[in-house]
Amino acid sequence: MSFGFFNYWVFIILLMIGLYTVMSRSNLVKKMIGLSLFQISVFLFYISMGKISGGTAPIVVDGPLDTAAPIYSNPLPHVLILTAIVVGIATTALGLSLVVRIRESFGTIDEEEILEMKDGA
Amino acid sequence: MLLLIAGTMSVLFVRNLFVATMLLGIVSFIMALIFISLDAVDVAFTEAAVGAGISTVLYIGTLALVGSQEKDQPKFAAGPLVICLAVGAVLYYATYEMPRFGEANNPVHTHVAPRYINDSPTEIGVPNMVTSVLASYRGYDTFGETTVIFAAGIGVLLILRQRRRRKNEDDETDVPLDEGKTGRSGSLTGLGSQHDLIPHVIAKLLIPFIFVFALYVQFHGDYGPGGGFQAGVIFAAGIILYALVFSLDYARSVVSERAILFLISAGVLLYGGVGVVSMMLGGNFLDYNVLASDPVAGQHLGILLVELGVGITVTAAMLAIFYAFVGRADLIAAKAEQEEN
C-alpha cells in the first residue's frame, strides 16, 4: 500500500511548518501560533500510530456482536494525547500571558525591536 | 489532510494575526475530524472543544491587548528554512523504518495495550477504555497533568494579576481589579454590548444546553466518549460565552474570582484525596479497588470522583485564565482613563 506512510508525511510537513514559523517570525504571538501547529502535528503522529485498520473506537460494545471479536484501536495514545491537549492549552495560555506582559513592559511584541532596545540602552 | 496542509501554510503566510488565529481554529477543527476517522473519538472531542474553542478565545484576548498587525519583514528566511528542511529530510528518512500505518501487529499494539483492551472491561467495568486507562491504570499521570493545569492557571494569575505600580503617582500604587467596571472605552468588560438583542436571546437559549451537555459529558464519560477534561472545557466555554455576550461583571457575579481560586485547588485536592482515602483503606495510592465492597464498584466510584476532580480543576483553570486576560484589559483601560484626568 503506497499510502502506508501518508499520515507520517503529513505529520512531518506540519511539523516543518510549525518549526519554520517559530524560527523565522519575530512576532511573539506568531511564534506561539507556530508552537501550537507543532503541537498539533505531534498529536497527529501519536493518534496515527494508535490506529488499526478496520478497528473501531476503543469503547466496549454491548449487546449482540455481528463479528466474532471487534478490533479496537489502541487506547493508550488516545489517553496520552487527550491530556496533552488540555495541558497544551494551559501552557499556551501561560505563554500568551507572558507576551502580554512583554508588550506592557516594552511596548512591542516584536523580538527584533526588543533586542534593538536592549542594545540601545 | 491536504486541506490541513493548506490551512497551516496560510497560517504561516497571513500577516494579520487575527486572521491567523481564525485559521488556527479551522486547522484544529479539521484535525478533530481526522481524529474521528482515526478512531480517537475522545481526543477529537477534546481537540474540537479546546483547539477550536478556548484557544481561539485566548488568542483573541491576547490580540486585544497587544494589537493584531504583524510587522512587515522579509518573507524569506534562509537559515531557518534550511534547518527545517534538514529536520524534515531526517524524519522522512526515518519513516521508512516505521511500521506500516494501521497494521495490527505493530510494536505499539503489542506492549501494554492488549492488556488494557482485554482486561479492562472485567477489571474496571467501564466500557470506555480511554476513561479506564486515563483514570485508573495511568492515574498517576493524570494526577500529574491535573497538577500541571493547576500550576499553569496559578501562573497566569500571578503574571497577569500582579498590580502595576505607577511611576508618577506615589500613594495609590495599586489599582484594585474590582474597579474595572463596564462602559469604559477599550475595555473588554464592556464587550457584551447591552443593545445587541440577537446574541442575547440566542445565548440565553444555548447556555443551559451547554451546561447540561457538559454535565452529561462529565458523568457519562465511563460509557461514551467524554470525561473530566472535555466536560471542564465545555463548562468553561459556557461561562465564557455568558461573559462575552452579557458582560464580565455578570459572569463574575455568577462565579466570582474567589470561588475560582477555591475550585481550582479543590479539584486537585479531590483527586489527591481519593488517593489518600484509598491508602487509608489499605490499598495503594489511587488504588480504587478498596473504595467499595467489591473491586469493580470501587473502580467505578474512584473513576467518577477522580474525573469530577479533573473537571473542576480544568473548568476553574480555564476561567481563571480567561478572567485574568480580560481583567488585564480593564486594568489598562482604567489606567489610561486615570492618566487622561
Domain boundary among B29, B46, B72: B72
Question: How far apart, in whole angstroms, are the C-alpha atoms of residue B100 and residue A49?
Answer: 9
A17 touching chain B per CB within 8 A? yes
Query: What region, left, alpha or beta, does residue B99 occupy, with left being phi > 0 and alpha being psi -120 to 50 degrees?
Result: beta
Per-residue pLDDT tens digits for B84-127:
888 888 888 887 777 777 666 777 777 777 777 777 767 766 77
CA distance A35 to chain B (A): 11
Q: What is the pLDDT of residue B165?
A: 45
B74 touching chain A per CB within 8 A? no
Question: How far apart, in whole angstroms, are the C-alpha atoms of residue B9 and residue A8?
Answer: 18
Which residue has better confidence, B199 or A91? A91
B170: confidence class by pLDDT, cuts 50, 70, 90: very low
Interface of A with B in 67-86 (CB under 8 A): 71-79, 81-83, 85-86
Which residue type is seen at A56?
T
DSSP string, B298-322: HHHHHHHHHHHHHHHHHHHHHHHHH
**Residue B266 falls inside a structural domain:** yes
Percentage of residues in chain B having pLDDT higher than 90: 0
**Residue B170 falls inside a structural domain:** no
Query: What region, left, alpha or beta, does residue B73 occupy, with left being phi > 0 and alpha being psi -120 to 50 degrees?
Result: beta
**Residue A99 falls inside a structural domain:** yes
Cβ neighbours of B155 in A, within 8 Å: 94, 97
**Residue B220 falls inside a structural domain:** yes
Beta bridge partners of B128: A59
Angle between helical axes of B113-123 and A75-106 (0-180°, round to 10): 100
Half-sphere exposure of B307 (CA within 13 A, CB side): 28
Q: Contacts by B285-292 with C-beta closer than 8 Å and gap 24+?
A: B285/B140, B286/B136, B286/B139, B286/B140, B286/B143, B288/B136
Question: How far apart, in whole angstroms, are the C-alpha atoms of residue B322 and residue B189?
Answer: 12
**Residue A44 falls inside a structural domain:** yes
- For an interface test with B, the pick among A15, A28, A33, A38 (most B C-beta atoms closer than 10 Å) comes out as A33
Q: What is the pLDDT of residue B102?
A: 66
Question: How far apart, in whole angstroms, are the C-alpha atoms of residue B53 and residue B247?
Answer: 19
**Residue A95 falls inside a structural domain:** yes
Total count of domains within chain B: 2
**Residue B118 falls inside a structural domain:** no
Owner of C-alpha cell 444555548: B206
Q: What is the pLDDT of residue B279?
A: 78
Q: Are both B135 and B24 inside the same structural domain?
A: no
Total count of domains within chain A: 1
What does the pLDDT profile of chain A (121 residues) look like in tens digits?
Answer: 345 667 777 788 888 888 888 888 778 888 888 888 888 888 888 888 777 776 677 776 655 455 556 677 777 888 888 888 888 888 888 888 888 888 888 777 777 777 887 776 5
Domain boundary among B53, B72, B91: B72
Question: How far apart, in whole angstroms, are the C-alpha atoms of residue B341 and residue B333?
Answer: 13
Q: Of B134, B337, B115, nearest to B231 (Cα)?
A: B134
Interface of B with A in 172-201 (CB under 8 A): none
**Residue A98 falls inside a structural domain:** yes
State CA B135 to chain mean position distance. Answer: 18
Beta bridge partners of B16: B69
Which residue type is seen at B236?
A
**Residue A65 falls inside a structural domain:** no
Chains A & B: contacts with CB separation below 8 Å: 273
- Cα torsion B86, B90, B95, B98: sign: negative
DSSP class of residue A56 equals B
Q: What is the pLDDT of residue B321?
A: 85
Beta bridge partners of B61: none
CB atoms within 10 A of CB B148: 16
State CA B53 to chain mean position distance. Answer: 9
Domain boundary among B40, B56, B72: B72
Q: Among partner residues B31, B87, B104, which is closest to A44 by beta-carbon distance?
A: B31
Lowest mean pLDDT among B3-7, B24-28, B62-66: B3-7
Radius of gyration over every alpha carbon of chain A, rounded to an integer in angstroms: 21
CB A113 within 8 A of CB A103: no
User: Which CATH number fits the domain that encloses residue B19?
Assistant: 1.20.120.1200
Q: What is the pLDDT of residue B186?
A: 43
Q: Of B334, B320, B328, nearest to B157 (Cα)?
A: B320
Cβ neighbours of B41 in A, within 8 Å: 57, 59
Q: Are both B20 and B138 inside the same structural domain?
A: no
Task: Quote ipTM for the complex.
Answer: 0.82
Q: Hey, is A87 helix, strand or coil?
A: helix
**Residue A59 falls inside a structural domain:** no
Lowest mean pLDDT among A94-108, B148-162, B169-183, B288-302: B169-183
Lowest mean pLDDT among A100-109, B10-19, B308-317: B10-19
* Phi, psi (degrees; rounded to nearest 5) at A12: -65, -40
Cβ neighbours of A34 in B, within 8 Å: 12
Question: How far apart, in whole angstroms, are the C-alpha atoms of residue B19 and residue B25?
Answer: 10
Query: What region, left, alpha or beta, does residue B69 occupy, with left being phi > 0 and alpha being psi -120 to 50 degrees?
Result: beta
CB B78 within 8 A of CB B23: no
Q: Domain span at residue B244?
A: 126-165+176-341
Q: Is B14 exposed, middle or buried (0-12, 13-18, 19+ CB in 10 A)?
A: middle
CB A81 within 8 A of CB B40: yes
> b or e along B256-265 (b: 16 or more beta carbons within 10 Å of the residue's beta carbon)?
ebeebeebbb
Q: What is the pLDDT of residue B193?
A: 54
**Residue B131 falls inside a structural domain:** yes
Question: How far apart, in whole angstroms, are the C-alpha atoms of residue A85 and residue B2?
Answer: 22
CB atoms B229 and A86 under 8 Å: yes
Which residue has better confidence, B178 or A58? A58
Judge whether residue B176 has pLDDT over 60. no
CB atoms within 10 A of CB B85: 13
Percentage of residues in chain A having pLDDT higher than 90: 0
> b or e along A89-99 (b: 16 or more beta carbons within 10 Å of the residue's beta carbon)?
bbbbbbbbbbb
Q: Domain span at residue A92?
A: 10-52+73-120
Q: What is the mean pLDDT of residues B178-202?
A: 55
Q: What is the pLDDT of residue B174?
A: 40
**Residue A100 falls inside a structural domain:** yes
Q: What is the pLDDT of residue B167?
A: 43
Question: How far apart, in whole angstroms, are the C-alpha atoms of residue B304 and residue B218?
Answer: 9
Q: Of B242, B217, B220, nearest to B229 (Cα)?
A: B217
Ranges assigned E (strand) in chain B:
none
Per-residue pLDDT tens digits for B16-53:
777 788 888 888 888 888 888 887 888 888 888 888 78
Q: What is the mean pLDDT of residues B172-195?
A: 44
Q: Are both B37 and B142 inside the same structural domain?
A: no
B247: confidence class by pLDDT, cuts 50, 70, 90: confident
Q: Are both B133 and B269 inside the same structural domain?
A: yes
Cβ neighbours of A99 in B, within 8 Å: 62, 66
Per-residue pLDDT tens digits for B250-278:
777 777 778 888 888 888 888 888 888 87
Q: Are both B18 and B160 inside the same structural domain?
A: no
Cβ neighbours of A71 in B, within 8 Å: 104
Question: How far apart, in whole angstroms, are the C-alpha atoms of residue A15 and residue A27?
Answer: 19
